[in-house]
Chains A and B, each alone.
Chain A
Amino acid sequence: MHDSQTTTVEHEAHNPALLHHFADAQQQKNAASLGMWLFLVTEIMFFGGMFCAYLVYRLAHFNAFAAGSQQLSIWMGATNTAVLIVSSVTVVLAVKAAEAGKRKLLVGYLVVTVLLGMTFLTVKGFEYREKFEKHHVPGPTFKFTDTFDDNGKQIPVNPKEAQLFFSLYFVMTGMHALHMIIGCGLFSVLAVLAWKGHYTPGYFTPIENAGLYWHLVDIIWIYLFPLLYLISRHS
């Protein structure tokens, strides 16, 4: 080791997880979590652009957005919301298990989290299939004949504006699903590493940071669900 500071951190000199350029494990952990929080900030800005577009177009084409929203399957959306909330709980339990050094429990919670993530993606797949069947996928085959219900008065909707709603629906949920896929891959790798005993009560930063990522992806869905499925429903 090229570490000239080993005198001050002797008890940590043999920690295999400590990288050479950090003075001690605490500094390394602090750096990693600050880095993760900053990455989450960039994710918020990334999704923020789409939320901004959604807001602008919802205000501009309210009737079409409300009518489009009625066409989404609220039950599948609600199921997925529940699945994600439960998965966030299992992530928290996984971090707790890592902290306590319970290896098998940790692996178990990580695997359950991945399975819940895959459940979410499967349900999402069925939702997308429904959109294909109803010709609600933007493009040449797009059809939209529904009307906007204004207190019983049926107002026709411009299909181009409805297509804009579904464009944003697919871009936003698609980008979210991509993050879910990455999250499932990440947690699978962590589960394997945890099984091999990489994480100890003294070092489980990757579990914590991956957990932060998972929670953020979860929170983004918590905003997507009401925006896309709920807020335009009257009945």
Chain B
Amino acid sequence: MSTIAPGRTEVTTDRTGVATRAIEESQSVRLAPNYWPFVVPALVVVSAVIVFPWAFTLWMSVNRWTLGQSRSFAGMENYLRLGSDPRFWESLVHTLTYTSLSVAAPMLLGTVAALIFDARFPLRGLLRGVFVMPMMATPVAVALVWTMMFHPQLGVLNYLLSLVGIPAQEWIFNANTVIPSLVAVETWQWTPLVMLIVLGGLASVPREPFESAEIDGANAWQQFRYLTLPMIAPFLMIALIIRTIDALKSFDIIYAMTQGGPGTASETINIYLYNTAFSYYDIGYGSAMAVVFFIVIVALSFILLMLRQRSQWNDAEGK
């Protein structure tokens, strides 16, 4: 292990020194086989297609640069422009609205579904299989069919509403209902992932506490509230974090169904970013937006991760 070339260590330094610590650890093991050659090809590829774009985006964001025109250094200009761009702030509000709804609904429905699928009943495997299918279906294909179902005159959804006496809606074609309608599609597609994660949590819950609770006369709700819920809390947190990241990043469904419309009523940061970079070719400004968007995602994820850590400490103290 002492044969690690300095050059190789250098490759890992851009990974915030985390990997270098691993080298020190493994150096203490005498005669350990050399595992670094296994990692190097992936390191090269990850540097080229993931780390290089990060760095290049940062650099582009401090430049005045529209494709086809000359580039010049702009300093913080693009970032300042973001602050005074009402369309950006509007898209941020859309993103946060879309995200909070697209997290809340799948979390609630996914947990309920997990509780159902944790029990034993006929055809359970088959039904669970069908339940998971939306998550794997191609988002664009799904979006097209939902667009047809949302059609105000010919769509099947308005027909179904008319059966129960609810007046026809304009769904994605109305600025007031477009975000909830898109959230419905997102919820339809991603509830299964929450269900799978929570189901994994439920599988790890021991039976004994429930038996004694039963003897003590606790009802089903009390058992859920005071036994099940605390025990699956870490899994709910994981589902929450993953769902938040995915909802913030959502692109396919929104772009394929509304392209941010009507007007800009469903334009999230991701869609505005796309338009800026690939419709207006303003890649300097688009890159600044990408950087800020990335910071928003990482910040929200880390707040949630810290909440999770804290809840684990509280649990540990409680024991």
Indicate, yes or no, whether A interacts with B. no
